[in-house]
Amino acid sequence: MWPWCAIVSQSLQKHQFGGVVRSYTFQNNCVAVTVTAERYQDMIRNFLVLETEEQGLEDMWLQQDGTTAHTARSTIQLLNDVFPRRLISRSGDLAWPVRSPDLTAPDFSLWGF
């Protein structure tokens, strides 16, 4: 299965860990599927937007890596609509280098989840 999850910081200045946005699994009839731009965009519209509203995270920034599904033109346009001036990504408001070691935070922060 292809899981997706987000780490939330309460304070960027103090680097306080705020929690985790509930995980999402890319699957169809309990079978893992390839994460395409369309599937990623469906997850953003039908899951991430609702989760951020429910948790009161409307002003959060989104940081993502440079995979094709994340950086497709249609995905970037959607993310710019959902996170105006708060997108950290290739072609985002704050450019983020591909293979940045700073994107490994989930590798070390999500073990308990």
pLDDT at 46 over 90: yes
pLDDT at residue 9 is higher than 70: no
Q: How confident is the model at residue 65 (pLDDT cuts 50, 70, 90)?
A: confident
Mean pLDDT of the chain: 76
| Residue 50 forms part of a structural domain | yes
Q: Per the domain annotation, does 9 fall within a domain?
A: no
Distance CA 46, CA 62 (A): 16
Within-domain flag for 58: yes
The reported pLDDT for the residue numbered 104 is 55
Q: Residue 54: inside a domain, yes or no?
A: yes
Tell me how many domains the chain contains: 1
Q: How far is CA 66 from CA 90, 97, 98, 99, in A?
A: 6, 8, 6, 8
Confidence class for position 88, pLDDT limits 50, 70, 90: confident
CATH of the domain at 53: 3.30.420.10
Q: Tell me, yes or no, whether 1 lies in a domain.
A: no
63 found inside a domain: yes
- Residue 83, domain extent: 21-109
10: in domain: no
| Alpha helix positions (H), 5-67 | 37-43, 49-54
Residue 68 domain-assigned (yes or no): yes
Q: Full-prediction pTM beyond 0.85? A: no
